[in-house]
């Protein structure tokens, strides 16, 4: 059973990684689209034939990316350009100002959004990016790419020992290995929550029925007929709060394990196995207390008690091995040195409890911007480091863009004087540059202080 649950946990972890990679890969193309002169000219309306040129560009862009639709909205949310302008379900001249991906982007924040299309009635992934004029910092419109969720559906529709789901933060099932559960509510919600779902228009017109699933403890769920499931759950980094859940059917797991044994060997061998398992379980329980104690003591010695990140000792313990692995794979390495700006002012103004909270928030943001294979540590005081093993999806602009996006999203919910500000320096070492840890730390720290000095000169 434990082995089966470990495999289930691995399946959820792999699926989370695959979906996050899928959701992140279109950010750069949309940013590039929003920067093109043809799009800016079409929004300004100052150039002859600007609409025709922009439409031709959208057509090529959509075809190259194999996207469903590329479109551009003005500041009021009206669609002025669309690659599907000649289709029966054209987006042209429609207003989507109610969509969060538009509202966020027109405020300057690129967004990834999953929803059911109000016009096409097709589920999709919406990537939005603000369009700015040559000299303006205020967006004049928003560029959007809507992509298909087909490859995510294919992953979730595979055969599982239970039910695999992708849900929004409230528990609305967006994609499920059992398609008949799509758009149902995994957990029971209040009427107010259901009214909010209807008002968002994110999942159609409803109704959204409750599946009857209830939690029994942290890791167990029971459906309306009493069947029990082991819950395996991972939260996606984007969109924030969305989750992958695997409801592991315990009866099916037991059946898959026991039925072949009974068919092939009979009840005698099953009883013998049960006896041996009971004896092994007895020995395991005798030893597990000491093992858990030693593991807890080891974890505490490597972990920062305030933020939950690795401490300096934990970082030093892990990083040397990780660097050797990265060199052997001949991959790039990135070391991000991060400093929380104005911690002393925050402590003096609001108290050390608010300063501790800010340090925890920075640690949370760095963890959200990292993968499970990356190493996040607090070196001491207000200084943090993150070690990334490079791959095709990692670069200095991607790392900085993700950090700035998460800090900006955090600050939207914080009052004046309590918003986070960080300075960061990123050291990049290629496969042919066997830099030591000391070189990486020194280089990244120097870049961080250069950024901090630049900020000081810009502050009034």
Span 151-165, pLDDT tens digits: 899 988 888 888 999
Same domain, 14 and 113: yes
- The whole-angstrom separation of Cα 195 and Cα 441 is 51
**pLDDT value at residue 86:** 93
pLDDT of residue 106 exceeding 60, the answer is yes
Query: pLDDT grade, residue 333 (50/70/90)?
Result: confident
Closest CA to 335 of 404, 390, 382: 390
Look at residue 259 in the predicted model and tell me its pLDDT.
58
Is 118 in the same domain as 221?
A: no
pLDDT of residue 146: 93
Q: Using 50, 70 and 90 to split pLDDT, how confident is the model at 266?
A: low
40/168 same-domain check: no
Average pLDDT, the chain: 86
For residue 289, what pLDDT is reported?
57
Q: How far is CA 274 from CA 41, 249, 262, 279, 288, in A?
A: 75, 21, 12, 9, 20
Query: Which tokens sit at 192?
Result: 């107010």
Confidence of residue 46 (pLDDT cuts 50, 70, 90): confident
User: Per-residue pLDDT tens for 2-16?
Assistant: 888 888 899 999 999
**pLDDT tens digits for range 89-98:** 999 999 999 9
DSSP alpha helix (H) spans, 303-369: 312-329, 343-350, 352-368
User: Domain total for the chain?
Assistant: 3
Task: Identify whether residues 318 and 378 lie together within a single domain.
Answer: yes
Residue 290 has pLDDT above 60, yes or no: no
Look up the domain containing 402 and give its range: 312-458
Per DSSP, the three-state class of 247 is strand
Q: Which residues contact 279 (CB under 8 A, 6 or more apart)?
A: none
156 within a domain of the structure (yes/no):
yes
Residue 297 counted as domain residue: no
Q: How confident is the model at residue 257 (pLDDT cuts 50, 70, 90)?
A: low
Q: Out of 226, 251, 276, pick the residue that ends a domain.
A: 251
Instruction: Name the pLDDT band for 63 (thresholds 50, 70, 90).
Output: confident
On whether residue 319 sits in a domain, the answer given is yes
Indicate whether 156 and 115 sit together in one domain: no
Q: Which of 148, 176, 208 is the last residue of a domain?
A: 148
- How many whole angstroms separate alpha carbon 211 and alpha carbon 243? 17
Residue 135: pLDDT band (50, 70, 90) is confident
Peptide bond between residue 239 and the one before it cis (omega within 30 degrees of 0): yes
Residue 425, C-beta contacts closer than 8 angstroms, at least 6 positions apart: 336, 337, 443, 444, 445, 446, 447, 448, 449, 450, 451
Reading the block at residue 295, the tokens are 């593991």
Structure-token pair, residue 230: 């082991």
Q: Is residue 278 part of a domain?
A: no
Total-model pTM = 0.56
Residue at 34 is within a domain: yes
Same domain, 201 and 334: no
Could you say which of 118, 148, 178 is where a domain stops?
148
Residue 55 domain flag: yes
Instruction: Provide the token pair at 113.
Output: 């959004």
Which residues are CB-neighbours of 305 under 8 A, at least 6 positions away? none
Q: Does some domain include residue 413?
A: yes
CATH number at residue 327: 3.30.70.270
Of 119-128, 184-193, 221-230, 384-393, the one with minimum mean pLDDT is 384-393
The pLDDT value recorded for residue 65 is 79
Q: Is residue 440 part of a domain?
A: yes
Confidence of residue 21 (pLDDT cuts 50, 70, 90): confident
Structural contact between residues 420 and 411, judged by C-beta atoms closer than 8 angstroms: yes
**Do 18 and 92 have their domain in common?**
yes
- Whether residue 35 is predicted with pLDDT greater than 70 in this model: the reply is yes
What local confidence, expressed as pLDDT, does residue 459 receive? 62
Instruction: Report the interhelical angle of 343-350 vs 352-368 (nearest 10°).
Output: 140
For residue range 345-400, list pLDDT tens digits in order: 888 888 888 889 999 999 999 999 888 878 999 988 899 999 987 776 778 888 88
Distance of CA 93 to the CA centre of its chain: 32
- Whether residue 38 is found in the same domain as residue 81: yes
Residue 291 pLDDT exceeds 90: no
pLDDT of 305 reads 87
What is the model's pLDDT at position 102? 96
Q: What would the DSSP string read from start to end of 27-64?
A: HHHHHHHHH-HHHHHHHHT-STTHHHHHHHHHHHHHHH
Nearest to 185 by CA among 217, 150, 151, 224: 224
Domain with residue 37: its CATH number is 3.30.450.20
What is the pLDDT, as a whole number, of residue 296? 61
The answer on 370 and 320 residing in a single domain is: yes
My answer on whether 133 and 159 are in the same domain is no
Percent of the chain with pLDDT over 90: 44
Tell me, yes or no, whether 376 and 316 share the same domain.
yes
Residues 176 and 133 in one domain: no
């Amino acid at each position: 059973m434990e082995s089966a649950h470990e495999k289930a946990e691995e399946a959820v972890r792999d699926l989370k990684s695959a979906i996050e990679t899928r959701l992140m890969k279109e950010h750069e193309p949309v940013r590039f689209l929003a920067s093109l002169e043809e799009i800016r000219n079409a929004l300004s309306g100052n150039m002859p034939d600007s609409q025709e040129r922009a439409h031709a560009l959208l057509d090529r862009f959509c075809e190259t990316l194999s996207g469903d639709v590329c479109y551009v909205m003005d500041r009021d949310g009206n669609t002025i350009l669309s690659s599907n302008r000649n289709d029966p379900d054209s987006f042209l001249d429609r207003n989507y100002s109610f969509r969060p991906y538009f509202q966020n982007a027109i405020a300057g924040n690129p967004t990834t959004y999953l929803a059911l299309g109000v016009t096409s009635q097709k589920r999709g992934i919406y990537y939005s990016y603000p369009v700015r004029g040559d000299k303006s910092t205020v967006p004049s419109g928003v560029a959007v790419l809507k992509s298909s969720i087909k490859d995510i559906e294919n992953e979730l529709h595979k055969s599982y020992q239970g039910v695999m789901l992708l849900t929004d933060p409230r528990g609305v099932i967006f994609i499920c290995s059992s398609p008949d559960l799509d758009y149902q509510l995994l957990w029971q919600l209040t009427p107010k929550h259901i009214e909010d779902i209807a008002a968002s228009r994110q999942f159609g017109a409803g109704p959204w029925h409750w599946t009857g699933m209830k939690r029994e403890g942290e890791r167990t769920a029971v459906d309306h007929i009493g069947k029990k499931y082991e819950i395996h759950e991972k939260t996606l980094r984007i969109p924030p709060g969305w989750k992958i859940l695997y409801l592991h059917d315990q009866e099916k797991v037991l059946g898959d394990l026991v039925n072949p044994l009974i068919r092939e060997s009979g009840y005698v061998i099953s009883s013998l196995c049960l006896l041996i398992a009971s004896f092994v379980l007895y020995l395991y329980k005798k030893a597990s207390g000491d093992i858990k104690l030693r593991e807890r003591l080891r974890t505490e010695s490597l972990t920062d008690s305030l933020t939950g990140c690795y401490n300096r000792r934990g970082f030093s313990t892990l990083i040397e091995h990780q660097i050797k692995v990265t060199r052997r794979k001949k991959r790039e390495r990135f070391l991000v040195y991060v400093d929380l700006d104005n911690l002393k002012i925050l402590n003096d103004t609001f108290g050390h409890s608010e300063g501790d909270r800010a340090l925890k928030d920075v640690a949370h943001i760095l963890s959200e911007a990292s993968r499970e294979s990356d190493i996040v540590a607090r070196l001491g005081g207000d200084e943090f480091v993150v070690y990334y093993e490079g791959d095709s999806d990692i670069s200095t602009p991607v790392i900085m863009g993700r950090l700035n996006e998460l800090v900006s999203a955090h600050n939207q919910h914080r009052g004046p004087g309590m918003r986070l500000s960080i300075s960061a320096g990123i050291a990049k070492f290629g496969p042919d540059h066997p830099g030591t840890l000391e070189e990486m730390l020194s280089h990244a720290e120097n870049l961080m202080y250069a950024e901090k000095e630049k900020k000081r000169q810009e502050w009034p």
